[in-house]
Amino acid sequence: MTYEMIQTRIDADKVGVVTLNRPKQLNALNEQLMTELGAALKEFDDNPAIGCMVITGSEKAFAAGADIGAMATYSFADVYVHDYITRNWEIIRSVRKPVIAAVSGFALGGGCELAMMCDFIIAADNAKFGQPEIKLGIFPGGGGSQRLMRQLPMCQAKLLMFTGDFLNAEEALAMGLVNQAVPRAQLLEETMKLAARIAEKSPVALKFLKNSMLHGADMPLPAALAHEAAMISLVFDS
Ligand code: HXC
């Protein structure tokens, strides 16, 4: 499939890379971009030559949020009845291989939410994370109001979302929002190193492990342990 708003490539180390490519709009996430991103991730998920995926943007912006101009005219029906967010934003949740967000520059609003949908976030030293939706009279609706409070202490999540303030890479690292903060010149190199280390592992075990953790996180511990026991026994069939 050919894409207009993203670029894709497959690295020799079994890593599929998606680069968001609307540089003039700071990679603002519109319908077409999110549809293309979902299709590319699904393609990578189905490709046995790929063990891990990376989503990245430009040096200035991972993504500065959902496309504000496009959203400005949306009504209740456009957003809720036509599933503005769930239709294509949540495809990344159904991807079974590990996904890493490599963030340089702005990861704001839907951009921050997109990064949080990934399994790992590596941040360049110029990264800025934030949920500024409240300044537009809306609030984080791409999973942010739910994922942030599970990822950070509740009081920190509320502070970010109620004020719209930004976090730099060091602050995001200290709070546990990102896995690693690196000099911006080394962002892709460090991300690809991690991706390659993951991509060489058993694809079957990784899928079961991701499944076990994602579903287990939402279960009470006894149910999560029973789910884990079922998953680990299935791995023995591989
Ligand atoms: C559409 C955007 C955009 C966005 C930037 N641009 N962010 N277009 N949607 N989210 C465009 C600008 O309009 C401008 O286009 C160009 O990108 C460069 O932006 P500048 O503002 O000139 O750059 P700069 O001065 O460096 O400021 C960067 C910035 C600022 C701090 C990131 O652009 C900004 O505050 N953007 C909005 C961030 C935001 O509020 N995000 C949350 C969106 S809501 P032109 O044509 O003028 O050059 C959201 C909700 C998700 O994500 C879920 C909803 C249910």
* Average pLDDT score over residue span 81-109: 91
Give the containing element (helix H, strand E) for 19: strand 15-20
Q: Which residues touch 124 (CB under 8 Å, ≥6 apart)?
A: 59, 102, 103, 104, 105, 169, 181, 182, 183, 184, 187
Q: Can you tell me which atom of ligand 1 is nearest the CA of 106?
A: 32
Q: pLDDT digit string (tens) for 32-89? A: 999 999 999 999 999 999 999 999 999 999 999 999 999 999 999 888 888 887 778 8
Give the containing element (helix H, strand E) for 129: strand 128-130
Catalytic residues: 66, 110, 113, 133
Q: pLDDT digit string (tens) for 146-160? A: 999 999 999 999 999
pLDDT of residue 128: 98
How many whole angstroms separate alpha carbon 2 and alpha carbon 40?
9
Q: How many Cβ atoms from other residues are within 10 Å of residue 30's Cβ?
A: 17
Residue in this structure with the two tokens 């950070």, named with its chain if needed: 152
pTM over 0.95, yes/no: yes
144 residue type, one letter: G
Q: pLDDT digit string (tens) for 136-188? A: 999 999 999 999 999 999 999 999 999 999 999 999 999 999 999 999 999 99
Ligand 1 pocket residues where CB is under 6 Å: 25-26, 28, 64-69, 85, 106, 108-110, 132-133, 136, 141-142
